Amino acid sequence: MFGGAKSSIKPVSQHTRTERIAAPKAPAPLPSRLAATAKAARAFGKTHDPKRSSPANAQRHTHSPATPDRLDVPSTKRKASRQRSPGEAKPNFGDDSDDDDEGYADDLASRSSVGSNKRQRTEPPTPTIDTKRKLRSKRGFSRDDGLFPMIHAADVASPVRKSKVPDLQAHKVTVELKYPSASQRERYDLVYGKDKIDSLREIYDIARIVAEVYLTEDQQKPFTDENSGFIRKIQRAMNLLSRNRQDQDLIDGFKSAVNAYNEALEALIKDGVLAKNLDNKHHLPLDMVHIILRQVYDRAVSPEVDLLKAYENGTDNVYGELLDSFISKILKETKMKSDQVFVDLGSGVGNVALQAALEIGCESWGCEMMKNAYTLADRQKEEFQARCRLWGVRPGRVRLEKGDFLENNPIKETIKRADVILINNQAFTTELNEKLKLLFLDVKDGCQIISLRPFITPGHQITEWNLYDPINNFRDEEDSYYGRSVSWTDAGGKYYRTTKDEKRLQSFIKKLAPKE
């Protein structure tokens, strides 16, 4: 029985019935569980193949998004060989298709979210809308802003592939995409960028999300019409070009479809339509959050992802990422708001801190002591700011600190006013977890601490003998995360929400006081 409870339902007396049925066909063989068991059994510190899993598969007390159960890659016959960002944690591929659409969905209306074609994704329900949050970036919609540094998708093209197709000139295979702001366009390499960033797919996803988020239902029609819409034209051109990336006529056809989309979007921007629509919104859909985080990671981290393999096994400095679907679940359950403070202790390359700032709009802090990780975190933060500007959205303020969070003064001061603190202490030593208990004594009442290992021993009770144990000021709840929530295993697991609650100890002390 569920939970071990005894059932109150009385058993029904058995009746025997005999009937003839056709012999069933032999069932299809069950998929082997050996691979899944092996993945789930991998201990912290063991290296994973970065081509088969999240880029940072060796584990650590740091974590991700952004990010993202993320975007699915459509079913095609080509092999995806680039490093996967947190936005693409081990996507499932559908069956190969020989039709004209190469496995992409024909019906735009049926694709209500990025990556919805084959794979089931656990996505937390839309949180209560925070009406205090302002989404539009005034800077992003200012035409006086000029150009700013960013990593174009074309800059991440594979030099190996370039050497194989010397006859195609760079300007002939590059297209520029307009984003829903007054900012500059992004350059995409339609041939060489496939190994690092799937330019065709990303352009299509961006166009679809822009229509869904920035336009009203009537404004969407020229973009989403199933026969003549700008996005449908991009999709058709993408499907054709996917078969032969070196055909100049197909390249020109795709560029023509994108340019038509750009012109239509540019006209709406000049009329102030997008800025006005964004002013009426207070919440970003998770699909948009995830694709922005994936863009940032693919450009700033993926090219240097091998740096994250430099860790010391058996210490507190072990690398692992919490994926952005899991972070979205945490942000929803803790009821984070834009006027609150989020802190990530052991923030790695900064994924989680960036996600909280983008998804919630809150003040977001991180602290990381591993040099290679915080070097990439700085790159991510710069690219994150550029991406938000491109999309015309305003995230919360982000600050990423370097060093030991037990000794970093800005972090210790911020912890005192934090509303949510996240710490992946899965691989921490007992000694470090004990030190964290003392650190958390400074948090304010009601602060929620999310961890992968509990700080309160199961069954702990306040007694006269342990009256001065710091943990008596807290209460905790156990919860479960689903598969594909962390980078080091496909299996699910447990996590804990520990809340500062001084009333527990005060109530116990009051009971001890002698009655008058």
Residues contacting 462, CB < 8 A, separation 6+: 469, 472, 504, 505, 508
Q: Which residues are annotated as a binding site?
A: 319-322, 342-351, 368, 404-405
Q: How many residues does the chain have?
A: 516
Residues contacting 68, CB < 8 A, separation 6+: 85, 86, 87, 88, 89, 289, 290, 291, 293, 294, 323, 324, 325
Kind and range of the H or E element at 238?
A: helix 230-243
Q: How far is CA 456 from CA 232, 354, 436, 476, in A?
A: 54, 29, 12, 7
Which residue type, as a one-letter code, is found at position 99? D
* CA distance linking residue 54 with residue 262, whole number of Å: 33
Q: How far is CA 397 from CA 96, 157, 169, 349, 363, in A?
A: 44, 31, 41, 17, 5
Short-list 300, 275, 305, 274, CA closest to 83? 305
Sign of the C-alpha dihedral computed for residues 430, 435, 438 and 439 taken in this order: negative
Pick left, alpha or beta for residue 3 (phi over 0 → left; psi -120 to 50 → alpha; otherwise beta).
left
Q: Which residues are annotated as a binding site for S-adenosyl-L-methionine?
A: 319-322, 342-351, 368, 404-405
* CA distance linking residue 53 with residue 319, whole number of Å: 14
* CA distance linking residue 489 with residue 41, whole number of Å: 8
- What are the backbone dihedrals phi and psi of residue 473, each rounded to the nearest 5 degrees, phi first? -85, 10
